[in-house]
């Protein structure tokens, strides 16, 4: 099964979903922009208990995921007025998303969040260039 991580308003993901429906492959689209309003999670350290995500009432057992397409996830917006409470809620949803990504770390990822983070870090890019034997100017 393919997990597609995106947002509700990504038209490219819409096109991909339309195409994948024609193939008969199993997939689940997880829209990160609605994680605070239309989603439920069930995480467990005990490997005998299934780990689930539910969005709009559609349930997904994460053990069924073989590959993940990570395309333009969006941090959900909150309607919380208090700055302190809003920051808390945002930190909690980021932690939840991080748990989810780590649970899926053995899957085949297209655009994993870790690779994206590494690719956007100039120091890490220079480290990899050195490791690969490229000459890097004094920086």
Whether this model's pTM surpasses 0.85: no
> b vs e for 119-134, b when ≥16 Cβ sit within 10 Å of the residue's Cβ?
eeeeeeeeeeeeeeee
Confidence of residue 6 (pLDDT cuts 50, 70, 90): very high
* Distance of alpha carbon 38 from alpha carbon 54, whole angstroms: 8
pLDDT tens digits for 47-79?
Answer: 676 788 888 888 888 889 999 999 988 888 788
Q: Within 10 Å of residue 139's Cβ, how many Cβ atoms?
A: 6
pLDDT tens digits for 8-53?
Answer: 999 999 999 999 999 989 999 999 988 888 888 777 676 676 788 8
């Amino acid at each position: 099964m393919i997990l597609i991580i995106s947002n509700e308003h990504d038209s490219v993901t819409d096109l991909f979903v339309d195409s994948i429906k024609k193939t008969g492959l199993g997939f689940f689209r997880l829209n990160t922009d609605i994680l605070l309003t239309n989603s439920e999670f069930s995480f467990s350290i005990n490997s005998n208990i299934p780990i689930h995500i539910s969005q709009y009432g559609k349930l997904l057992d994460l053990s069924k995921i073989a590959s993940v397409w990570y395309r333009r996830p969006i941090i959900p917006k909150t309607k919380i007025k208090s700055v302190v409470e809003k920051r808390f809620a945002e930190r909690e949803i980021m932690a939840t998303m991080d748990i989810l990504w780590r649970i899926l770390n053995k899957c085949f990822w297209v655009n994993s969040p870790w690779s994206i983070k590494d690719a956007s870090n100039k120091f890490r890019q220079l480290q990899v260039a050195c490791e690969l034997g490229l000459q890097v100017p004094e920086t």
